[in-house]
Structure 1
Amino acid sequence: MAAVKNEGVSVTENFEIFSHLRYEHLVAGTTAGLTSTVTLHPLDVIKIRFAAHDGRHQYTPKYSGIANAFVTIAREEGLRGLYKGVVPNCWGAGASWGLYFLFYNSSRTIWAQRSKEELGPLENSLAAALSGALTLVITNPLWVVKTRLCLQHNDQSRRYSGMVDALTKIYHNEGVKGYYRGFVPGLFGVSHGAVQFVVYEEMKTTYGTYYNLPQNSQLGTVQYLTFAAISKIIAAGVTYPYQVVRTRLQNQYYTYKGSLDCIRQTWAFEGWRGFYKGLGSNLIRVTPATMITFVTYEKVSHFLMKRSKNFEA
């Protein structure tokens, strides 16, 4: 029976697209994101506070270094201070990594089947960019909430009692627009994922070719750890400034007119160094976080894929 056409795309083709959305990637990505987030959230709090401090306002505390920040927060705010914003961070990281891996692998599979060729760096980067944009549209409200909760450093500055309270108050005071503060620089952050995944995939491909391994074969833990660390360091070094801009736009204690105004003020008062505040704590956090995330994802996804194949057989 002929497929019904809809603006040049058949209904059959639409269902084929959805058939590539494999739950294994969603579950594996979500598990990976949650594991790394719970383990390393304190470093995320420190990174956000470093990035938000512009040297002019006193609403965000200033620390002399990563160790000083850790000790100061623990002494003044207790263990809970190091885990402020952990709930929306877990929701955001779990959803982001789950959706990202879901969209990324689905788009690569569709692209590979239609082109009937092995994907190169360009195709991988486009798949990563598309996946990042779709994921950001869904999860940006959670990142706004996480940032604001992480920046609450004492009782006087406390505005939100938790994730639900923050979501409610942001909508009441700022509308839907409040949920998408920092969205524009976040879109620039799509380039971060593109760089990271291209480097990661190319290293996996090169390694597999060198050792004559079958395509999509499972590698060892050491290989995944190494490839994840290198790809994250390269991506972070290239794209970090957007994270500073996004954090400052999401800060509830002072405002900018927009991304360009934030960039202009940061450059005028802090120079190029202002765009790299918190990079050290960020690398200390994201490098092991990425290693945990990618190893967990690879292991869980391969396990689930193998389980699905055995079940279907």
Structure 2
Amino acid sequence: MSAEASKRHQWQWENATAGAAAGFATVAVMHPLDVVRTRFQVNDGRVSHLPSYKNTAHAVFTIARSEGLRGLYAGFLPGVLGSTISWGLYFFFYDKAKQRYARNREGKLSPGLHLASAAEAGGLVSLCTNPVWLVKTRLQLQTPLHQTRPYSGIYDAFKTILREEGFRAFYKGIVPSLFLNSVDYAVLGATSKLAAILLTYPFQVQLSVPSFKVMRARLQQRPSGDGVPRYMDTWHVVKETARFEGIRGYYRGITANLLKNAPASSITFIVYENVLKLLKPTTRND
């Protein structure tokens, strides 16, 4: 392996490691708002096992009072696992894609190719992590009112889903997830400066594609006791949401989403940049 190739390989793993650390830190701090967002997104007014919340603050206090810290951190393990893997894989795939596009361009990439690299990385990340996000969503939706036997943890959830619904169930919500992740990461990759990312990313993405987050969450719900899913596919979610809730249904959880993602973006990139600085001297001195 040449010196240049070795250096490039080290840089890829520096990015992956820093991204994984950033993902872990973000989930650890912001997970309660993620629980609130998920419960708002799936609450179409016809779900009996979900309590009604007036707003984000009321949801946080209600969950804390009735379910304790465990409720606020429901699905934390798959959340940490998914976020850590996602950010680690994203920066790895993103760097790989940029290298491939830059081979015949003297190392220079246009903004469009940066965007394409980021979108490609986002799609690959989604394919790799969808099973983890599905389990996280289901654990977050378990409440004391739940009628079906609850999953006892992440391992039990994976095992039960595989036994009761088959492997295909792990890819419920993959269509909106592929689009959502590609757009999320494309916006991220097209923004070159940290300050610009922190100012524009949460609002551009969360206001432009909230419906995809709602669709993904609703598709990933656990089937009822008779094994019939509440929503069959993406188009079914679109029709039923429009029919019973109107345009407002597509924006459920938007407040919790914005409250979560603005500071989450800051945490992610502050941790990412600092871990990267710590790793650079170490790898360069090897």
Please say whether Structure 1 and Structure 2 have the same fold, judged by a TM-score greater than 0.5.
yes
- Give runs of aligned pairs for residues 126-275 of structure 1, distance below 5 A: 126-154=116-144, 156-157=146-147, 158-201=149-192, 204=193, 224=194, 227-252=197-222, 253=224, 254-275=229-250
Q: Is the 8 A contact 2:123 2:182 kept in 1?
A: no
**Aligned residue pairs, count:** 276
User: Post-superposition shift, 1:34?
Assistant: 0.2
Q: Matches of 2:196 and 2:51 in 1, distance apart?
A: 35
Q: Matches of 1:156 and 1:266 in 2, distance apart?
A: 22
- CA offsets 1:155-203 (integer angstroms, 9 cap, x no match): 64452000000000000011111111111111111333244214422xx
TM-score (normalizing by structure 2): 0.90
- Give runs of aligned pairs for residues 53-64 of structure 1, distance below 5 A: 53-64=43-54
SS in 2 for 1:119: coil
User: Post-superposition shift, 1:268?
Assistant: 1.3
Instruction: Pick one of 245, 249, 263 that aligns with 1:288.
Output: 263
SS in 1 for 2:46: coil
1:7 matched residue in structure 2? none
- CA offsets 1:31-54 (integer angstroms, 9 cap, x no match): 000001011100000000000101
- CA offsets 1:55-85 (integer angstroms, 9 cap, x no match): 2232222200011001100111011110000
List structure 1 segments (4+ residues) > 3 angstroms apart after TM superposition. 18-21, 155-158
Q: Matches of 2:181 and 2:262 in 1, distance apart?
A: 18
Q: Matches of 1:306 and 1:37 in 2, distance apart?
A: 27
Q: Is the 8 A contact 1:25 1:98 kept in 2?
A: yes
Residue identity in the other structure for 1:118: K
Q: Is the 8 A contact 1:229 1:291 kept in 2?
A: no
1:217 matched residue in structure 2? none
Q: Matches of 2:285 and 2:100 in 1, distance apart?
A: 23
Query: Residues 156 and 234 of structure 1: is their aligned pair in 2 closer, same or farther, counting only changes over 3 Å?
Result: closer
Query: Residues 166 and 21 of structure 1: is their aligned pair in 2 closer, same or farther, counting only changes over 3 Å?
Result: farther
Q: Matches of 1:278 and 1:240 in 2, distance apart?
A: 9
- CA offsets 1:81-111 (integer angstroms, 9 cap, x no match): 1000000000000000110111112211332
2:15 matched residue in structure 1? 25
Instruction: Pick one of 264, 270, 277 that aligns with 2:252.
Output: 277
Q: Percent identity?
A: 37
SS in 2 for 1:189: helix
Q: Matches of 1:285 and 1:136 in 2, distance apart?
A: 20
Is 2:278 the counterpart of 1:303? yes
- Give runs of aligned pairs for residues 103-114 of structure 1, distance below 5 A: 103-114=93-104
Question: Structure 2: any 5+ residue segments left out of the alignment?
Answer: none
Instruction: Pick one of 37, 40, 58 that aligns with 2:27.
Output: 37
Is 2:106 the counterpart of 1:116? yes
Q: Is the 8 A contact 2:121 2:182 kept in 1?
A: no
Q: Matches of 1:57 and 1:156 in 2, distance apart?
A: 10
Q: Is the 8 A contact 1:21 1:102 kept in 2?
A: no
User: Post-superposition shift, 1:117?
Assistant: 5.0
Residue identity in the other structure for 1:262: V
Structure of greater Rg: 1
Question: Structure 1: any 5+ residue segments left out of the alignment?
Answer: 1-14, 205-223
Query: Residues 163 and 42 of structure 1: is their aligned pair in 2 closer, same or farther, counting only changes over 3 Å?
Result: same
Q: Matches of 2:58 and 2:141 in 1, distance apart?
A: 17
- CA offsets 1:182-236 (integer angstroms, 9 cap, x no match): 11111111333244214422xx2xxxxxxxxxxxxxxxxxxx3553242222112
